[in-house]
């Protein structure tokens, strides 16, 4: 699987945890209750796991 630089649009994130649950090495739920990218990169397929489209490639 290819890794890509990704970002999370905090204004769209609902904190559901789909990204962190599916890709725990790439995402975490921060103190704000919203998702954060851990390393700045994630599996290419991670973009599609977000139900509100908050994850995008940079």
**What pTM, to 2 d.p., does this model score?**
0.90
pLDDT band at 41 (very low <50, low <70, confident <90, very high): very high
CATH number of 14's domain: 3.30.70.20
Q: Which of 55, 30, 31 is nearest to 43 (CA)?
A: 55
Q: Please report the pLDDT score of residue 27 as a whole number.
A: 97
- Tally of domains in the chain: 1
The mean pLDDT of the chain is: 95
Quote the CA–CA distance of 34 and 8 in Å, as a whole number: 9
Q: Give the domain range for residue 35.
A: 3-57
Gyration radius from the chain CA atoms: 10
Whether the CB-CB separation of 56 and 35 falls below 8 Å is answered with no
Rounded to whole angstroms, how far apart are CA atoms 54 and 52? Answer: 6
Across 23-32, average pLDDT: 96
Q: Is the pLDDT of residue 6 over 90?
A: yes
């Amino acid at each position: 699987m290819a890794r890509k630089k990704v970002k999370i649009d905090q204004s769209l994130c609902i904190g559901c945890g789909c990204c962190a649950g599916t890709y725990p090495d790439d995402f975490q739920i921060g103190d704000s209750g919203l998702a954060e990218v851990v390393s700045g990169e994630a599996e290419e397929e991670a973009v599609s796991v977000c139900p509100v489209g908050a994850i995008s490639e940079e």
